[in-house]
């Protein structure tokens, strides 16, 4: 079927069910504390109230889903070169996106969409802090045709060419496939801090819900019943560390496999077609011309297992809160990393002049994160009389040793490689990351020098790009200024489009 999308179109009719379930889960999460209170109270009256509440919720959600479906339309205005989306029930919204500004069109399919047989479409533009437009439920043929129509002005690869049932003559060239074993290697050797954060977030969210309904005492009683587990301090510490490590290990492994299962890259006309995901599948196109910077990271165990992680950054508006334009390649080896860099840059980015940070950076970090906290803890020691001195100073000693080791290796690995065409920044204590930046992708440069650093001839530089900032602190200031002038001259003398 030939789709032109010139007339306003609605989503797939079966998508009403998806919209219903999407609205239902949002409302149920909002009223979860109320439902929990009713269930805990029990009784016939409570059961009747719960039944009426759920029935009212279902009816409300059904009306919302139907209105969302009927009020949502999209079409392409080819005369103006615009993609237009109408949305909203009470507040009407019209989103207009210039076709020339579209950076990515992603096809997604979560578990519900897969069961219903529909696809989602996400349209991104450079610098937006969210998806400019989202379509939650269209058929496969419509999704593929719309993706082709939206990116054909960018000379991108059509989405139909990614299908396995296409003739061999137009099938994209296989480029990379992350094997299941590689995902396992990455899953057991990375993201431990993130996993610990997820565990703590889950625990405190449960505690918060119990506190809202006044039932946190129940959890405290259950913990008190297991007091025999905590009679031995050493046993408790060992048990806690073992449990936390096991839980983090399983979370890392499961999250990595579910997110990146069947990760494949296919090469076509200088672009990369990416597809991955077990429950939530995602298909997207990576164009080398849109790449702002590349980050290659690897820790000791990953180096021994010959796997590493790559993050390919595109234009963003908020480096701290926005991750949608960061494409991750987990579990590739050194040869595959070099092949990806070859495709993006046309060759292997050469290392330039080596610059190391001044030793005062290490001293300052130790003073700020070790000396000051330890001194503060000693000053407040009289307020913790119930804590034995041996335990108190033992914890401080462990803290001091661990932080000192961390800052030493972080300083040792902190290196800046500067050249006329490429800049590399190496950083990290355990996970060693190398940021690669083309100098013609720089948008602005900031140099700074504190007045007491002038006689020492040390200073800092920050490179501003559309993918965020890259900084290097306390290096030789004369050398930095020399290269900054060369980079600025190159930017002003060349007519290069960073997008």
Per-residue pLDDT at 368: 93
Q: 230 pLDDT band (50/70/90 cuts)?
A: very low
363 or 188: whose pLDDT is higher? 363
pLDDT tens digits for range 246-288 = 777 787 788 888 888 888 888 766 677 888 888 888 888 777 8
Residue 170 has pLDDT above 80, yes or no: no
pLDDT above 70 covers a percentage of the chain that reads: 78
Concatenated DSSP letters of 120-182: EEEEEETT-SS-SEEEEEE-HHHHHHHHHHHHGGGTPPPGGGG-TTS-GGGSPEEEEE--HHH
Which range has the top average pLDDT, 107-111, 165-169, 249-253, 338-342?
Answer: 338-342
> 10 Å Cβ neighbour count for 13?
11
Per-residue pLDDT, averaged over 121-146, amounts to 81
pLDDT tens digits for range 290-319 = 788 999 999 999 999 999 999 998 875 444
Per-residue pLDDT at 297: 94
457 or 281: whose pLDDT is higher? 457
Concatenated DSSP letters of 50-96: HHHHHHHHHHHHHHHHHHHHHT-EEEEETTTTEEEEEE-SSS-EEEE
Degrees (nearest 5) of the Cα angle 375, 379, 380? 120
pLDDT tens digits for range 37-67 = 777 666 676 777 778 888 888 898 889 888 8
The DSSP output letter for 13 is: T
pLDDT tens digits for range 332-391 = 899 989 988 988 888 999 998 999 999 999 999 999 999 999 999 888 878 777 667 787
């Amino acid at each position: 079927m030939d789709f032109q999308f010139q007339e306003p179109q609605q989503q797939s009719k079966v998508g009403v069910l998806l919209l219903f379930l999407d609205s239902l889960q949002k409302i149920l999460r909002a009223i979860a504390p109320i439902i929990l209170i009713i269930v805990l109270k029990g009784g016939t009256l409570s059961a009747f109230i719960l039944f009426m509440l759920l029935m009212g919720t279902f009816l409300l959600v059904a009306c919302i889903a139907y209105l969302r479906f009927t009020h949502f339309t999209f079409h392409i205005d080819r005369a103006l070169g615009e993609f237009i989306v109408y949305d909203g029930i009470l507040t009407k919204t019209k989103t207009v996106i210039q076709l020339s500004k579209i950076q990515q069109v992603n096809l997604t399919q979560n578990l519900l969409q897969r069961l219903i047989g529909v696809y989602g479409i996400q349209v991104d533009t450079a610098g937006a802090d969210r998806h400019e437009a989202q379509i939650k439920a269209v058929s496969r043929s419509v999704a593929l045709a719309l993706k082709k129509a939206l990116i054909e002005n960018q000379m991108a690869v059509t989405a139909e060419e990614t299908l396995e049932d296409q003739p061999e003559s137009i099938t994209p060239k296989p480029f990379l496939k992350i094997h299941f074993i590689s995902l396992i290697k990455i899953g057991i050797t990375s993201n431990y801090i993130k996993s610990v954060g997820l565990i703590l977030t889950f625990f405190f969210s449960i505690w918060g819900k119990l506190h809202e309904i006044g039932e946190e005492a129940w959890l405290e009683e259950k913990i008190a019943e297991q007091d025999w587990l905590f009679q031995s301090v050493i046993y408790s510490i060992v048990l806690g560390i073992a449990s936390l490590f096991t839980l983090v290990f399983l979370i890392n492994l499961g999250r990595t496999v579910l997110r990146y299962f069947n990760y494949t890259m296919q090469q076509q006309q200088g672009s990369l077609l990416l597809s991955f995901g077990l429950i939530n599948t995602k298909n997207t196109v990576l164009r080398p011309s849109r790449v702002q910077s590349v980050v290659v990271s690897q820790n000791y165990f990953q180096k021994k297992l010959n796997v590493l992680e790559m993050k390919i950054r595109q234009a963003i508006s908020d480096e701290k809160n926005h991750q949608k334009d960061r494409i991750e390649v987990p579990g590739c080896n050194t040869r595959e990393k070099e092949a990806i860099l070859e495709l993006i840059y046309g060759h292997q980015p050469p290392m330039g002049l080596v610059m190391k940070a001044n030793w005062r950076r290490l001293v300052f970090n130790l003073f700020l994160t070790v000396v000051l906290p330890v001194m503060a803890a000693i000053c407040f020691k009289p307020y913790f009389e119930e804590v034995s001195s041996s335990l108190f100073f033992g914890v401080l000693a462990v803290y001091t040793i661990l932080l000192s080791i961390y800052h030493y290796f972080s300083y040792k690995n902190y290196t800046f490689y500067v050249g006329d065409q490429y800049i590399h920044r190496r950083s990290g204590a355990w996970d060693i990351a190398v940021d690669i930046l083309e100098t013609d992708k720089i948008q602005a440069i900031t140099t700074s020098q504190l007045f007491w650093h002038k006689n020492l001839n040390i200073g800092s530089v920050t490179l501003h790009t559309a993918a965020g900032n890259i900084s290097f602190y306390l290096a030789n200031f004369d050398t930095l200024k020399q290269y900054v002038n060369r980079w600025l001259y190159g930017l002003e003398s060349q007519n290069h489009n960073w997008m």
